[in-house]
A and B are shown apart, each in its own frame.
Chain A
Amino acid sequence: MDLLTLIKANIRRRKGTFISIIVLMFISSMALTLILSIDRSSAESYTEAFKNADCPDIMVMIREKNFTDDIRSSLNDSKLVDRFSITESVVTDSVRVGNYSTGNSWFLVQMKDNMRLVNSSCDGYEEKTPKLKKGEIYLSYGTKDKLKCNVGDRISCKTLSGEHDFTIKGFVEEPMVGASNIGWKVQFISDEDFDEYYVAGKLKNDDDHSGTGCLVGVYKSADSDMTSSEFAHALSVENNLIASAWGSITEDESRHYTNIYSDIIMGIMLAFILILVVVVLIVAGHSISASIEMDQTNLGILKAQGFTTARIRLIFMIQYMLAETIGALLGIIPAVPLIKVMTSLFDPISGYILDTRLALGETLLYLLGVFALSILFILFITRKIGQISPIRAISGGKREIYFDSRLTAPISGGALSASLALRQFTSAKRRYIASIVIAAILVFFMLMVNAIGDTIYSKNAVEMMGGEWHDLWISAQRNLTAEEIDDVTDTLKEYTEIKHKYFSRGTYLTVNDEKIYCLITPFPEELAVYEGRYPKYDNEVLITEIVAERLDVKIGDKVVIGKNDKREEFIVCGFFNSMNDTGVVVSVNNEGGERLGMPWFYSWGGFNLEDTSKLKEMQTALRNKLSPDIKVNFSDEGDSEMELYDNAVLAMKIVIYSFSLIFTLVAVSMVSSKAFSQEKTDIGIFKSQGFTSGKLRLQFAVRFLIVSVIGAVIGTVTGLLFINRLLSVLLKDIGITNFHANFTVIGVLIPIAVICICYFTFALFVSRKIKRVGIRQLVTE
C-alpha cells in the first residue's frame, strides 16, 4: 500500500514526465511493431508465394541449342538434383507500354494453373485466375508500377519474329523474377499466342540471335541441406548448364533481390528506432536523475521513516516501467492500419502482396528486451539514492547542483541574455548532456536520410555507385560498329561535352566456378573504379568488393573465368562499384571478352551529357547522319524504377523527420521542464532585479539553442565522418560497397536548422510558465 500511495503521488506530481515517457514509448513501439511486422511479412509472404508457384531452387535462362544432351544427362544423373523442369519461352528484345519501355529480356510463357491474380484494389488475390484469350497477357505484379501500366492497357513486345501486341488482362504473382528491380521477367500469354509466336521465333533463330529459349528449373534433392547458392555452385562444377546460359537465378538471390529495398529501408528504420529507444532511456534517465536531485528532501524524509534504498528505487522503477509499458502497448494499436499503408509501398517493388498481419510475438520479444534494458538502466541511474542520508532531510535536503564547470565565459553587458544563457549552460552541463546526445542522434539520422535521398536523386551519384545515367541513347537490332559509335560521339561533341558513354554487354560466366555477372565494355575507363585501375589489357578483370569477399581474392590475385567451354586466367586489377546484379559483378574490356570467345557485339549505348538543353537537335542530327536502322532516343521521363525507390525513400524521410520532430518536442519539453523547476528560484531572482519574462524566456530558449547547436555540430561531424562507412555497410546488399554520399550544403544545413529551430521554439514554448508565476511565489519557493 505504501508503494502504491507513493507511486500514485509521484505520478500525480510528475504528470508531464509520465505522459512524455508514454508518448516516446508509444512512437517507438508503433514503429517497431510496423518494422517487425513488415520484416516478418516479407520473409513469410515470399516463402508462401515461392511454394505456391512451385519455384525451382535455380532457374536458368538458356538457348535451346545450348541446353545440350550432355547437360540433360548430367542433370538426370546428378545426385544433387531431385528433378528439373523445362519451360519453353518467347524472348523479347524490348517492350513498350505508352511512354514507358524496357530493354530487359522478357520470357513469354504459357499461362500456368497455380498463378495467383492480384485483385483490383491490389491488397490481395482473386480466388480464381481466368484463362487468357488470344491477345491477352498477364504481367508479373512488379511490372505494374515500373512501366506505369494498368489492366486494359495495350503492350507491345518486340521479338526476333516481329512485334506482338497484347492487352493487359491482369497482374499475377511471379516470385522468382517478379520484383521490379529484377530485369528479367516471366510473363504469361495464351496457349494460342504462345504456339504461334514460339514457332515463328524458332524459325528466325540463327547462330547469333535467338528469339526463343528455355527456362530450366532445377530442384535440389530432398535430402540436401545446401543453400540454393551452394547448390548452384556445386551444379556449376558438375556441368555447364549455368555457364552456357543467358543467365540464372537461385532462390537465395531471388529472395534477396525481391526484398532488397524493403530490407534496406526497414534495416535503416530499425536502426533508427532502436536508437530512438536509447533516446527514450536517456530521457527517462535524465528525468530520474533530475528528480532525485530535486527531491533530496523527500527522499531523505522517506529514509528517515524507514524506507530502504531498494524500496525507493523500486518506486522509481515501477513508476517508469508503468509509463513505458502503457506507451508500448498503446503503440501496437495504430501499427495495425499502418502496416497496410507501408506494405502498399513495397508491394509494387517486391512484386507480390505482403501479408499485413501483426508480428505480435516478435514485437513483444523486442519490447521485453527494451524493458530489460530499461530496468538495468534505471537500476544504474537510481544507484545514487543509496548515497542520500536521512540527515539531509533535516538540513533542508538540497545540495548545490551547479558549479561543475571551469568554462566560465564572462558575463557581458552587451549581450547579457546570451552570456547568461551560456553561463546557465556551462554551469550545469551534465543536465544538458541528454539533450545534446538526442540532438546529435537526430541530426545524424536526418543527415543520413538526406544523404541517401540526395544520392538517389543525383545522376552523378548514380554513376558514382556504378549505375548509369543516360540522357541520350542509341540502339539497333544488330551489332553497332566502332566507327558508328565514333560518329555518334563526334556529332554529340558538336553540341556539348560528353561526361560518360556507356557501351557494354552483360553476360553470366563463372569466376573460380562461381556464377557471376560480367560487363564487357569497349570503354572500361568509364567504370566506377575506386581502388586499383580499370582493365587495360585482355587478361585483366575488375571486380566489386562483394565479389572479392565471395571469392576471397584481392587486387593482384589470379582468377579463372569460364564461359561455355573456355576457361582463361585473369588478374584482378581493381575494385569498382556497380549496381548491376546487386554488386555481384566483374568487368573486362572488349579484348578480354574476345579472349573468352565473345567478340565485339554492342547493339545499345547511352550517353551522359554536360548540357541537355539541345537533346532534340542532337537527336535530329544523329538521325540524319546515322543509318536508319539505328534508333536515337532521349530521356524525357523519369526512370520509373527510381520513382518507386524514391517513394520508399521519401516515406523513410517523412518517418524519420516526423519522429525526430516528435522526439525533439517531447525530449526538449521534458528537459526544459526539469531545468525550469530546478531554476525557479534563479528566475525569480532575475525577475526581482528587473528582468522581464520575455528576456528570461529568451535566455532560457537561447540556452537550448546552444545545446542544440552543440548536439547538431557533433551529429553533423559524426555524420560526415561515418555516414559513408555506415551506408557502405548497410547498402552493401544492393552492390554499394563504397558509398560516396553527395552531401549538399542544403542537405547538411536542413537537419541542423530543423533541430536548432525545434529546440529553440519548444524551449520558448515550455518557458511560457515563467510568465505565469509571480515573483514572490518563485522567490519563496
Chain B
Amino acid sequence: MKKTILKARALSKSFAHNGGQVHILSGVDLDIYEGDFTVIMGASGSGKSTMLYALSGMDKATAGSVIYNDRDIAGMNEKDLAALRSRDFGFIFQQMHLVSNLSLFENVAVPGYLNKERSADEVRKRAAELIDKMGISDVNSHLPSQVSGGEQQRCAVARAIINNPKLLFADEPTGALNRRNTTEVLNLLTDLNRDGQSILMVTHDIRAALRASRLLYLSDGNIIGELELAPYDKEEEKSRDTQVNAWLGSMEW
C-alpha cells in the first residue's frame, strides 16, 4: 500500500478574461504517493504548469484543497508556505532560474543556509557533495551566465534537493535543454528517485515521461488517464516507449 504524500481535492483554478471566467483546472482530485516519480502530461495549454504551481503552493487555487501532512496548504499564511518550500518541497523550473549574481555553489548553498537545520559548515559540505554528484564541481565558482544550460539545470536540481525535500516538483525541467543535456538531467532525476526521492514533474517531452513510475494525463482541466509503470530501466526503454506512446495515443495526445 503506497503512502500518500500530497493530495488534491476538487482543485480548481480559473482566470477572469473578457468579463467571463476561463477554467484551467476543474475540480481535480489527485493523490501523489511517496517514492513515486509521477509525471503529468497533457497538451499545451492543458493546465499542467498551473496544476503544478497550485499543488506546490507557489500559486493559490481558486477552489479546492491541497493537503500535505494533514494541512491544507491553501490555508497557510506566507510564513508557513515559506517554511514548507524551505523544508519539505523542492522546485525545478523550466528556465532554471538561478540567481544570476550568485555562483553555482552559492546558488545551491543559499537555500541550505536559509533552512538553518544544518550548520553553515555542514551546508557547505552538502552543497559540495551535491555539486560533485551533479558533475559540475569544476564550474562551481562560475556564475550562471558562464556555464551551459545543462550545467545550470544540474545546479538547479542540486539546489532543489539540498534540504532533502519530501517532494520534488519539476516544471518542464528539460524544456530549455538540448538532447545531451536533457538526458543528463533525466538521469539525475531518475537516480534521485531510485534513492527514494518523491518527484512530481510536468512535461510534454515523451523522453522525460519514460522515466516516470506513474503517468497522469491532464485534459480540459481534469485528470483523464493514469498509467502505472515499472521502475525505469534503460535496457527496456524501447518497450517502455511503445507502451507509453500507445497510452498517450489512447489519450488523443
Chain A residues packing against B (C-beta within 8 Å) = 400, 402-403, 408, 411-414, 416, 420, 423-424, 427-428, 681-682, 684-693, 695, 771, 774-776, 779
Contact = CB atoms under 8 A, between A and B. Distances in A.
A413 B117 CA distance: 11
Given A420-B110, A693-B78, A688 B58 contact: yes
Nearest to B163: A690
Given A688-B91, A776-B58, A779-B93, A413 B113 contact: yes
A686 B113 CA distance: 12
Contacts of B159: 689
A402 B100 CA distance: 7
Interface in B62-92: 78-79, 82-87, 91
Interface string B96-109: 01111111001001
B82 A424 contact: no
A403 B145 contact: yes
Contacts of A776: 53, 58-59
Interface of B: 53, 58-60, 78-79, 82-87, 91, 93, 97-103, 106, 109-115, 119-120, 123-124, 143, 145, 159
B251 to A, nearest CB: 26
A411 B103 CA distance: 10
A203 to B, nearest CB: 92
A691 B85 CA distance: 8
Given A423-B102, A689-B85, A690-B82, 10 more contacts: A403-B100, A403-B101, A413-B109, A428-B101, A689-B110, A690-B85, A692-B79, A693-B78, A775-B58, A779-B97
Contacts of A687: 82, 85
Interface centre among B60, B79, B98, B114 (most CB of A within 10 A): B114
A429 to B, nearest CB: 11
Nearest to A408: B103
B93 A403 contact: no
B98 A685 contact: yes
Contacts of B115: 690
A692 B82 CA distance: 6
Contacts of B79: 692
Between A423, A428, A684, the greatest number of chain B beta carbons within 10 A of the residue's beta carbon is seen for A423
Given A413-B123, A690-B111, A685 B99 contact: yes
B83 A413 contact: no
B49 to A, nearest CB: 8
Contact of A689 (B60, B100, B114, B124): B114
A427 B101 contact: yes
A413 B127 CA distance: 13
Contacts of A420: 110
Contacts, number: 87
Given A402-B100, A411-B102, A775-B58, A416 B78 contact: no
6 contacts: A403-B145, A411-B109, A416-B110, A690-B84, A690-B115, A691-B82
- Best-buried of B60, B83, B93, B99 by chain A (most CB within 10 Å): B99
B99 to A, nearest CB: 5
Given A423-B101, A690-B114, A692-B79, A412 B120 contact: yes
B120 A685 contact: no
A685 B97 contact: yes
A420 B78 CA distance: 21
Contacts of A403: 100-101, 143, 145
Given A411-B106, A688-B58, A400 B100 contact: yes
B27 to A, nearest CB: 20
B145 A400 contact: yes
In this complex, which of A408, A424, A684 has the most chain B Cβ atoms within 10 angstroms of its Cβ? A408
Contacts of B86: 689-690
Q: Sorted from nearest, which 4 A-B pairs have the closest CB atoms?
A: A690-B86, A413-B120, A427-B101, A413-B113
Contacts of A775: 53, 58-59
A604 B54 CA distance: 90
B120 A402 contact: no
Nearest to A683: B99
Contacts of A689: 85-86, 91, 110-111, 114, 159
Nearest to B87: A690
A458 B109 CA distance: 56
Contacts of A681: 97
Contacts of B112: 413
Nearest to A686: B99
Contacts of B106: 411
A646 to B, nearest CB: 50
Nearest to A685: B97
A682 B114 contact: no
Nearest to A401: B100
A688 B81 CA distance: 10
A97 B250 CA distance: 109
The residue among B82, B87, B109, B143 with the most chain A CB atoms within 10 A of its own CB is: B82
Contact of A774 (B60, B85, B124, B145): B60
B111 to A, nearest CB: 4
Contacts of A771: 78
B76 to A, nearest CB: 12
B97 A411 contact: no
B100 A692 contact: no
Given A688-B85, A774-B59, A411 B100 contact: no
Nearest to A417: B114
Nearest to A400: B145
B59 A690 contact: no
A682 B99 contact: yes
Residue in B58, B101, B114 with the greatest tally of chain A CB atoms within 10 Å: B101
B38 to A, nearest CB: 20
Contacts of B53: 775-776
A416 B98 CA distance: 17
B44 to A, nearest CB: 15
Contacts of A423: 101-102
A209 B241 CA distance: 124
A700 to B, nearest CB: 14
Contacts of A682: 99-101
A689 B110 CA distance: 9
A277 B81 CA distance: 46
A680 to B, nearest CB: 11
A157 to B, nearest CB: 77
A655 to B, nearest CB: 40
A411 B84 CA distance: 23
Nearest to A774: B59
Contacts of B114: 416, 689-691
